[in-house]
Amino acid sequence: MAASWELCVDFTFCYRVGVRGRVIIVGCDVAGLAVALFLKRAGYEPIVYDRGRDPRQVPAGLVALTPNGLEVLRTLGLAAAVRVLGQASRRIVLHGQSGERLGEVAGDSLLVGRRDLLGVLRSAACRADVPMEFGVSFTGAESRHHDVLVHFAGRPVTAAHLLLGCDGRWSDVRALVDRDAAPPRFSGVMGCSGFARLPGLDHADGQLHVTFGQYGCFVYQVLTNGDVFWYQTAAAPDPDSRHRPSAVWRARLAELHAGDPAPIADLVRATEWIDRNAIYTTPSLRSWHRGRICLVGFAAHGTGEYSAHGVSMELEDAITLADSLRRNDSVPEAFSGYHRIRHPRAGRVLGQAVGAGLAIAPLDQLGQLVRRIRLPAVVGAAVAETARTYRHRISWDACP
Protein backbone atom coordinates (compact mmCIF):
# COMPACT_ATOMS: atom_id res chain seq x y z
CA MET A 1 0.00 0.00 0.00
CA ALA A 2 2.75 2.41 1.02
CA ALA A 3 4.64 1.66 -2.20
CA SER A 4 1.66 2.56 -4.38
CA TRP A 5 1.26 5.91 -2.57
CA GLU A 6 4.89 6.65 -3.26
CA LEU A 7 4.36 5.93 -6.95
CA CYS A 8 1.50 8.33 -7.40
CA VAL A 9 2.80 11.17 -5.21
CA ASP A 10 2.39 14.45 -7.04
CA PHE A 11 6.00 15.63 -7.19
CA THR A 12 5.18 18.77 -9.18
CA PHE A 13 5.44 20.68 -5.93
CA CYS A 14 9.23 20.24 -6.06
CA TYR A 15 9.54 22.99 -8.62
CA ARG A 16 6.40 24.95 -7.79
CA VAL A 17 6.97 25.59 -4.13
CA GLY A 18 7.85 28.99 -2.78
CA VAL A 19 10.82 29.67 -0.56
CA ARG A 20 9.35 27.93 2.44
CA GLY A 21 7.33 25.11 0.93
CA ARG A 22 3.83 24.08 0.06
CA VAL A 23 1.22 24.08 2.79
CA ILE A 24 -1.97 22.12 2.21
CA ILE A 25 -4.93 23.65 4.01
CA VAL A 26 -8.11 21.60 4.45
CA GLY A 27 -11.12 23.91 4.82
CA CYS A 28 -11.84 27.10 2.89
CA ASP A 29 -13.70 29.01 5.58
CA VAL A 30 -12.47 31.76 7.93
CA ALA A 31 -9.59 29.82 9.52
CA GLY A 32 -8.33 28.28 6.26
CA LEU A 33 -8.46 31.51 4.27
CA ALA A 34 -6.92 33.68 6.97
CA VAL A 35 -4.01 31.32 7.63
CA ALA A 36 -3.44 31.00 3.86
CA LEU A 37 -3.20 34.79 3.53
CA PHE A 38 -0.72 35.12 6.39
CA LEU A 39 1.38 32.16 5.19
CA LYS A 40 1.56 33.63 1.72
CA ARG A 41 2.98 36.80 3.24
CA ALA A 42 5.49 34.70 5.15
CA GLY A 43 6.82 33.15 1.93
CA TYR A 44 4.94 29.83 1.92
CA GLU A 45 2.86 28.40 -0.92
CA PRO A 46 -0.54 27.68 0.64
CA ILE A 47 -3.17 25.79 -1.30
CA VAL A 48 -6.69 25.50 0.09
CA TYR A 49 -9.08 22.58 -0.47
CA ASP A 50 -12.71 22.30 0.54
CA ARG A 51 -15.14 19.46 0.07
CA GLY A 52 -18.01 21.88 -0.53
CA ARG A 53 -18.85 21.64 -4.22
CA ASP A 54 -20.24 25.09 -4.70
CA PRO A 55 -18.19 27.92 -3.18
CA ARG A 56 -21.32 30.12 -3.27
CA GLN A 57 -23.10 27.82 -0.84
CA VAL A 58 -22.21 29.49 2.43
CA PRO A 59 -24.59 29.49 5.40
CA ALA A 60 -26.41 32.80 5.56
CA GLY A 61 -26.80 34.85 8.73
CA LEU A 62 -24.67 37.30 10.64
CA VAL A 63 -21.58 36.67 12.74
CA ALA A 64 -20.07 39.04 15.26
CA LEU A 65 -16.53 40.22 14.73
CA THR A 66 -15.03 41.54 17.95
CA PRO A 67 -12.32 44.28 18.11
CA ASN A 68 -9.49 41.75 18.50
CA GLY A 69 -10.63 39.93 15.34
CA LEU A 70 -11.08 43.19 13.43
CA GLU A 71 -7.50 44.06 14.35
CA VAL A 72 -6.27 40.85 12.67
CA LEU A 73 -8.27 41.80 9.56
CA ARG A 74 -6.64 45.25 9.72
CA THR A 75 -3.23 43.55 9.63
CA LEU A 76 -4.38 41.76 6.48
CA GLY A 77 -5.53 45.12 5.06
CA LEU A 78 -9.14 43.89 4.97
CA ALA A 79 -10.81 45.62 7.92
CA ALA A 80 -12.15 48.54 5.89
CA ALA A 81 -13.61 46.24 3.23
CA VAL A 82 -15.41 44.20 5.89
CA ARG A 83 -16.57 47.24 7.86
CA VAL A 84 -18.48 48.73 4.93
CA LEU A 85 -20.43 45.48 4.63
CA GLY A 86 -21.26 45.20 8.33
CA GLN A 87 -23.18 46.92 11.09
CA ALA A 88 -21.22 48.43 13.96
CA SER A 89 -22.08 47.33 17.50
CA ARG A 90 -20.57 50.17 19.49
CA ARG A 91 -21.62 48.76 22.83
CA ILE A 92 -23.09 45.61 24.26
CA VAL A 93 -25.77 46.31 26.86
CA LEU A 94 -26.52 43.46 29.27
CA HIS A 95 -29.96 43.10 30.85
CA GLY A 96 -31.42 40.89 33.57
CA GLN A 97 -34.64 38.97 33.49
CA SER A 98 -36.83 42.01 34.18
CA GLY A 99 -34.99 44.19 31.70
CA GLU A 100 -32.80 45.81 34.38
CA ARG A 101 -29.41 46.97 33.12
CA LEU A 102 -26.63 44.78 34.52
CA GLY A 103 -23.68 46.26 32.71
CA GLU A 104 -22.20 47.15 29.36
CA VAL A 105 -19.12 46.47 27.29
CA ALA A 106 -17.87 49.28 25.08
CA GLY A 107 -15.91 48.31 21.99
CA ASP A 108 -16.22 48.54 18.29
CA SER A 109 -17.58 45.15 17.21
CA LEU A 110 -19.20 44.40 13.89
CA LEU A 111 -22.13 42.27 12.80
CA VAL A 112 -21.37 41.05 9.31
CA GLY A 113 -22.93 38.58 6.91
CA ARG A 114 -21.00 35.33 6.91
CA ARG A 115 -21.18 35.36 3.11
CA ASP A 116 -19.82 38.91 2.97
CA LEU A 117 -16.90 38.10 5.28
CA LEU A 118 -15.98 35.02 3.27
CA GLY A 119 -16.36 37.00 0.06
CA VAL A 120 -13.77 39.52 1.25
CA LEU A 121 -11.37 36.78 2.40
CA ARG A 122 -11.75 34.81 -0.84
CA SER A 123 -11.21 37.88 -3.02
CA ALA A 124 -8.05 38.63 -1.03
CA ALA A 125 -6.90 35.02 -1.53
CA CYS A 126 -7.47 35.37 -5.30
CA ARG A 127 -5.48 38.62 -5.38
CA ALA A 128 -2.67 36.95 -3.44
CA ASP A 129 -2.63 34.01 -5.91
CA VAL A 130 -3.66 31.48 -3.30
CA PRO A 131 -5.15 28.48 -5.16
CA MET A 132 -8.55 27.31 -3.82
CA GLU A 133 -10.13 24.08 -4.96
CA PHE A 134 -13.68 23.04 -4.16
CA GLY A 135 -15.35 19.62 -4.27
CA VAL A 136 -12.15 17.99 -2.94
CA SER A 137 -12.49 15.78 0.16
CA PHE A 138 -9.55 15.16 2.46
CA THR A 139 -9.39 11.50 3.50
CA GLY A 140 -6.07 10.98 5.31
CA ALA A 141 -2.39 11.84 5.64
CA GLU A 142 0.95 10.51 6.84
CA SER A 143 3.42 12.84 8.39
CA ARG A 144 7.00 11.88 7.50
CA HIS A 145 10.34 13.31 8.51
CA HIS A 146 10.70 15.73 5.59
CA ASP A 147 7.16 16.06 4.31
CA VAL A 148 3.54 15.02 4.71
CA LEU A 149 1.61 12.88 2.23
CA VAL A 150 -1.98 14.02 1.87
CA HIS A 151 -4.85 11.94 0.48
CA PHE A 152 -7.91 13.36 -1.21
CA ALA A 153 -10.78 11.23 -2.51
CA GLY A 154 -10.22 10.26 -6.14
CA ARG A 155 -6.91 12.10 -6.47
CA PRO A 156 -3.24 11.18 -6.49
CA VAL A 157 -1.45 11.51 -3.16
CA THR A 158 0.05 14.96 -2.77
CA ALA A 159 3.22 15.77 -0.84
CA ALA A 160 3.59 18.99 1.10
CA HIS A 161 5.77 20.67 3.69
CA LEU A 162 2.84 21.03 6.12
CA LEU A 163 -0.82 20.07 6.45
CA LEU A 164 -3.20 22.37 8.31
CA GLY A 165 -6.60 21.13 9.43
CA CYS A 166 -8.99 24.08 9.20
CA ASP A 167 -11.88 21.70 8.68
CA GLY A 168 -14.21 22.78 11.43
CA ARG A 169 -16.25 21.09 14.13
CA TRP A 170 -16.30 17.62 12.52
CA SER A 171 -12.64 17.81 11.56
CA ASP A 172 -11.20 14.73 9.82
CA VAL A 173 -7.67 16.01 10.40
CA ARG A 174 -8.24 16.05 14.18
CA ALA A 175 -8.03 12.25 14.46
CA LEU A 176 -4.52 12.34 12.99
CA VAL A 177 -3.39 14.74 15.69
CA ASP A 178 -5.10 13.07 18.64
CA ARG A 179 -6.24 9.52 17.91
CA ASP A 180 -8.10 9.34 21.22
CA ALA A 181 -10.07 12.55 20.69
CA ALA A 182 -13.74 12.01 21.48
CA PRO A 183 -16.25 13.21 18.88
CA PRO A 184 -18.09 16.48 19.60
CA ARG A 185 -21.06 15.98 21.96
CA PHE A 186 -24.39 17.75 21.78
CA SER A 187 -24.35 20.30 24.59
CA GLY A 188 -28.09 20.32 25.22
CA VAL A 189 -28.29 23.86 23.85
CA MET A 190 -29.87 25.04 20.59
CA GLY A 191 -28.92 28.35 19.01
CA CYS A 192 -31.71 30.01 17.03
CA SER A 193 -31.58 33.22 15.04
CA GLY A 194 -33.68 35.31 12.71
CA PHE A 195 -34.59 38.71 11.31
CA ALA A 196 -37.77 40.58 12.21
CA ARG A 197 -39.29 44.02 11.76
CA LEU A 198 -41.36 45.66 14.50
CA PRO A 199 -43.13 49.03 14.44
CA GLY A 200 -41.40 51.46 16.78
CA LEU A 201 -38.20 49.44 16.71
CA ASP A 202 -36.62 50.61 13.51
CA HIS A 203 -34.00 53.09 14.61
CA ALA A 204 -30.47 51.69 14.60
CA ASP A 205 -28.50 52.90 17.61
CA GLY A 206 -25.48 50.59 17.34
CA GLN A 207 -26.37 48.78 20.56
CA LEU A 208 -26.34 45.04 20.89
CA HIS A 209 -28.78 44.05 23.64
CA VAL A 210 -28.16 40.86 25.57
CA THR A 211 -30.91 39.70 27.94
CA PHE A 212 -30.45 36.85 30.38
CA GLY A 213 -34.06 35.78 30.21
CA GLN A 214 -36.04 33.33 32.26
CA TYR A 215 -35.12 30.27 30.19
CA GLY A 216 -32.49 31.43 27.75
CA CYS A 217 -30.21 34.20 26.59
CA PHE A 218 -31.56 36.56 23.91
CA VAL A 219 -29.43 38.94 21.82
CA TYR A 220 -30.69 41.54 19.36
CA GLN A 221 -29.65 44.63 17.46
CA VAL A 222 -31.65 47.00 15.24
CA LEU A 223 -29.90 47.20 11.88
CA THR A 224 -29.68 50.31 9.71
CA ASN A 225 -32.31 48.99 7.29
CA GLY A 226 -34.80 48.77 10.17
CA ASP A 227 -34.66 44.99 10.48
CA VAL A 228 -33.81 43.49 13.84
CA PHE A 229 -31.29 40.65 13.93
CA TRP A 230 -31.69 38.35 16.92
CA TYR A 231 -29.98 35.28 18.30
CA GLN A 232 -30.96 33.18 21.27
CA THR A 233 -29.84 30.07 23.13
CA ALA A 234 -32.01 27.72 25.17
CA ALA A 235 -32.09 24.13 26.32
CA ALA A 236 -33.19 21.59 23.71
CA PRO A 237 -33.85 17.87 24.08
CA ASP A 238 -31.72 16.63 21.18
CA PRO A 239 -29.84 18.00 18.14
CA ASP A 240 -32.38 16.61 15.70
CA SER A 241 -35.11 18.80 17.15
CA ARG A 242 -33.66 21.52 14.88
CA HIS A 243 -35.37 19.79 11.96
CA ARG A 244 -38.81 20.63 13.34
CA PRO A 245 -40.56 23.23 11.18
CA SER A 246 -39.76 26.90 11.67
CA ALA A 247 -43.35 27.54 12.80
CA VAL A 248 -42.99 24.98 15.60
CA TRP A 249 -39.82 26.69 16.77
CA ARG A 250 -41.48 30.10 16.58
CA ALA A 251 -44.28 28.93 18.87
CA ARG A 252 -41.85 27.24 21.28
CA LEU A 253 -39.53 30.24 21.51
CA ALA A 254 -42.41 32.70 21.90
CA GLU A 255 -43.60 30.62 24.85
CA LEU A 256 -40.09 30.30 26.28
CA HIS A 257 -39.54 34.06 26.16
CA ALA A 258 -43.11 35.05 27.15
CA GLY A 259 -41.94 36.24 30.59
CA ASP A 260 -38.93 38.16 29.26
CA PRO A 261 -38.91 41.94 28.77
CA ALA A 262 -40.26 43.52 25.56
CA PRO A 263 -39.63 43.32 22.68
CA ILE A 264 -38.25 39.78 22.90
CA ALA A 265 -41.36 37.62 22.46
CA ASP A 266 -42.74 40.04 19.82
CA LEU A 267 -39.51 39.73 17.83
CA VAL A 268 -39.82 35.96 17.82
CA ARG A 269 -43.48 36.13 16.77
CA ALA A 270 -42.63 38.57 13.94
CA THR A 271 -39.94 36.30 12.48
CA GLU A 272 -40.83 34.34 9.38
CA TRP A 273 -37.83 31.99 9.17
CA ILE A 274 -35.98 30.81 12.25
CA ASP A 275 -32.52 29.37 11.71
CA ARG A 276 -31.63 26.57 14.15
CA ASN A 277 -28.19 25.26 15.00
CA ALA A 278 -27.39 22.59 17.56
CA ILE A 279 -24.46 23.58 19.75
CA TYR A 280 -21.79 20.97 20.43
CA THR A 281 -19.00 20.61 22.93
CA THR A 282 -15.74 20.01 21.08
CA PRO A 283 -13.36 17.64 22.87
CA SER A 284 -10.36 19.11 24.58
CA LEU A 285 -7.29 17.82 22.76
CA ARG A 286 -3.98 16.82 24.30
CA SER A 287 -2.23 18.70 21.54
CA TRP A 288 -3.17 20.62 18.43
CA HIS A 289 -0.31 19.24 16.33
CA ARG A 290 1.54 16.09 15.46
CA GLY A 291 4.54 15.86 13.14
CA ARG A 292 3.86 18.16 10.20
CA ILE A 293 0.11 18.35 10.84
CA CYS A 294 -1.57 21.12 12.83
CA LEU A 295 -5.13 22.20 13.64
CA VAL A 296 -6.48 25.73 13.35
CA GLY A 297 -9.80 27.31 14.39
CA PHE A 298 -12.92 25.31 15.09
CA ALA A 299 -11.05 22.04 14.43
CA ALA A 300 -8.76 22.78 17.39
CA HIS A 301 -11.19 24.36 19.87
CA GLY A 302 -14.90 24.98 20.07
CA THR A 303 -14.94 28.59 21.17
CA GLY A 304 -17.25 29.56 18.31
CA GLU A 305 -20.01 27.31 19.54
CA TYR A 306 -20.67 29.14 22.75
CA SER A 307 -19.70 32.71 22.24
CA ALA A 308 -19.60 35.44 19.64
CA HIS A 309 -15.82 35.10 19.67
CA GLY A 310 -15.48 32.19 17.21
CA VAL A 311 -14.55 34.02 14.03
CA SER A 312 -12.21 36.38 15.87
CA MET A 313 -10.52 33.42 17.57
CA GLU A 314 -10.05 31.76 14.16
CA LEU A 315 -8.39 34.95 12.89
CA GLU A 316 -6.14 35.11 15.96
CA ASP A 317 -5.13 31.46 15.46
CA ALA A 318 -4.23 32.18 11.84
CA ILE A 319 -1.91 35.11 12.51
CA THR A 320 -0.29 33.38 15.50
CA LEU A 321 0.45 30.17 13.61
CA ALA A 322 1.86 31.94 10.56
CA ASP A 323 3.95 34.18 12.81
CA SER A 324 5.31 31.20 14.72
CA LEU A 325 6.19 29.40 11.46
CA ARG A 326 8.04 32.38 9.99
CA ARG A 327 10.05 32.83 13.19
CA ASN A 328 11.02 29.15 13.54
CA ASP A 329 12.80 26.96 11.01
CA SER A 330 11.91 23.94 13.12
CA VAL A 331 8.35 22.77 12.47
CA PRO A 332 7.93 21.16 15.94
CA GLU A 333 9.08 24.36 17.64
CA ALA A 334 6.81 26.50 15.47
CA PHE A 335 3.77 24.33 16.18
CA SER A 336 4.58 24.10 19.91
CA GLY A 337 4.97 27.87 20.11
CA TYR A 338 1.58 28.36 18.47
CA HIS A 339 -0.08 25.83 20.79
CA ARG A 340 1.57 27.38 23.86
CA ILE A 341 0.06 30.77 23.02
CA ARG A 342 -3.32 29.76 21.67
CA HIS A 343 -4.36 26.88 23.91
CA PRO A 344 -4.67 28.91 27.13
CA ARG A 345 -6.37 31.79 25.34
CA ALA A 346 -8.95 29.50 23.74
CA GLY A 347 -9.51 27.91 27.15
CA ARG A 348 -10.10 31.31 28.77
CA VAL A 349 -12.52 32.48 26.09
CA LEU A 350 -14.41 29.19 26.20
CA GLY A 351 -14.46 29.21 30.00
CA GLN A 352 -15.79 32.75 29.95
CA ALA A 353 -18.75 31.65 27.84
CA VAL A 354 -19.46 28.24 29.30
CA GLY A 355 -18.32 28.73 32.90
CA ALA A 356 -20.61 31.68 33.39
CA GLY A 357 -23.50 29.32 32.64
CA LEU A 358 -25.41 32.18 31.12
CA ALA A 359 -26.49 30.67 27.84
CA ILE A 360 -29.28 28.60 29.33
CA ALA A 361 -31.21 28.81 32.53
CA PRO A 362 -32.27 25.97 34.80
CA LEU A 363 -35.86 24.93 34.40
CA ASP A 364 -36.60 24.33 38.10
CA GLN A 365 -37.61 27.19 40.40
CA LEU A 366 -34.74 26.84 42.89
CA GLY A 367 -32.17 26.78 40.08
CA GLN A 368 -33.76 29.90 38.61
CA LEU A 369 -33.66 31.72 41.93
CA VAL A 370 -29.98 30.90 42.43
CA ARG A 371 -29.21 32.06 38.90
CA ARG A 372 -31.05 35.33 39.48
CA ILE A 373 -29.11 36.02 42.65
CA ARG A 374 -25.77 35.15 41.05
CA LEU A 375 -26.40 36.97 37.78
CA PRO A 376 -25.14 40.51 38.64
CA ALA A 377 -21.82 39.18 39.98
CA VAL A 378 -21.39 36.71 37.11
CA VAL A 379 -22.21 39.39 34.54
CA GLY A 380 -19.79 41.82 36.23
CA ALA A 381 -16.97 39.28 35.91
CA ALA A 382 -17.97 38.43 32.34
CA VAL A 383 -17.93 42.13 31.37
CA ALA A 384 -14.38 42.54 32.69
CA GLU A 385 -13.20 39.34 30.98
CA THR A 386 -14.88 40.28 27.68
CA ALA A 387 -13.20 43.69 27.74
CA ARG A 388 -9.84 41.91 28.23
CA THR A 389 -10.60 39.57 25.32
CA TYR A 390 -11.37 42.57 23.10
CA ARG A 391 -8.11 44.33 24.00
CA HIS A 392 -5.95 41.39 22.91
CA ARG A 393 -3.62 42.39 20.07
CA ILE A 394 -1.21 40.24 18.04
CA SER A 395 1.60 42.03 16.31
CA TRP A 396 2.81 40.98 12.87
CA ASP A 397 4.89 43.98 11.77
CA ALA A 398 7.35 43.71 14.64
CA CYS A 399 8.56 40.29 13.43
CA PRO A 400 11.75 39.80 11.44
Ligand X SMILES: Cc1cc2nc3c(=O)[nH]c(=O)nc-3n(C[C@H](O)[C@H](O)[C@H](O)COP(=O)(O)OP(=O)(O)OC[C@H]3O[C@@H](n4cnc5c(N)ncnc54)[C@H](O)[C@@H]3O)c2cc1C
Site residues, ligand X (CB under 6 A): 26-32, 49-52, 63-64, 137-138, 166-169, 172, 191, 277, 297-299, 304, 308-312, 314
Comparison of 212 and 371: residue with beta carbon closer to ligand X: 212
Comparison of 196 and 353: residue with beta carbon closer to ligand X: 353
Which residues neighbour 47 within 8 Å (Cβ) at sequence distance 6 or greater? Answer: 22, 23, 24, 25, 130, 131, 132, 133
DSSP string, 294-329: EE-GGGT--HHHHSTTHHHHHHHHHHHHHHHHHH-S
Comparison of 359 and 371: residue with beta carbon closer to ligand X: 359
Distance of closest approach, residue 391 Cβ to ligand X, in angstroms? 17
Residue 289 to residue 285: CA distance in whole angstroms = 10
Comparison of 241 and 277: residue with beta carbon closer to ligand X: 277
Distance of closest approach, residue 389 Cβ to ligand X, in angstroms? 12
Comparison of 81 and 368: residue with beta carbon closer to ligand X: 81
Which residues neighbour 233 within 8 Å (Cβ) at sequence distance 6 or greater? Answer: 189, 190, 191, 192, 216, 217, 279, 359, 360
Q: Which residue, 94, 97, 185, 99, is CA-closest to 361?
A: 97
Distance of closest approach, residue 36 Cβ to ligand X, in angstroms? 11
Comparison of 26 and 346: residue with beta carbon closer to ligand X: 26
Q: Which residue, 284, 292, 218, is CA-closest to 24?
A: 292
Residue 232 to residue 148: CA distance in whole angstroms = 42
Comparison of 260 and 317: residue with beta carbon closer to ligand X: 317
Distance of closest approach, residue 289 Cβ to ligand X, in angstroms? 15
Comparison of 76 and 308: residue with beta carbon closer to ligand X: 308
Distance of closest approach, residue 64 Cβ to ligand X, in angstroms? 4
Q: Where are the beta strands (DSSP E) in the chain?
A: 22-26, 45-50, 62-65, 87-95, 101-113, 132-134, 138-143, 148-152, 158-160, 162-165, 185-196, 207-212, 216-222, 228-235, 275-281, 289-290, 293-295
Comparison of 231 and 335: residue with beta carbon closer to ligand X: 231
Q: Is there a cis peptide before residue 239, judged by omega within 30 degrees of 0?
A: no
Distance of closest approach, residue 138 Cβ to ligand X, in angstroms? 4
* CB 228, CB 195: distance < 8 Å: yes
Distance of closest approach, residue 369 Cβ to ligand X, in angstroms? 30
Sign of CA dihedral 7, 10, 12, 15: negative
Distance of closest approach, residue 277 Cβ to ligand X, in angstroms? 3
Burial grade of 114 (CB within 10 A; 0-12, 13-18, 19 or more): middle
Distance of closest approach, residue 398 Cβ to ligand X, in angstroms? 26
Go through 242-265 and write b for each residue having 16 or more CB atoms within 10 A of its CB, e for each that does not: beeeeeebbebbbebbeebbebbb
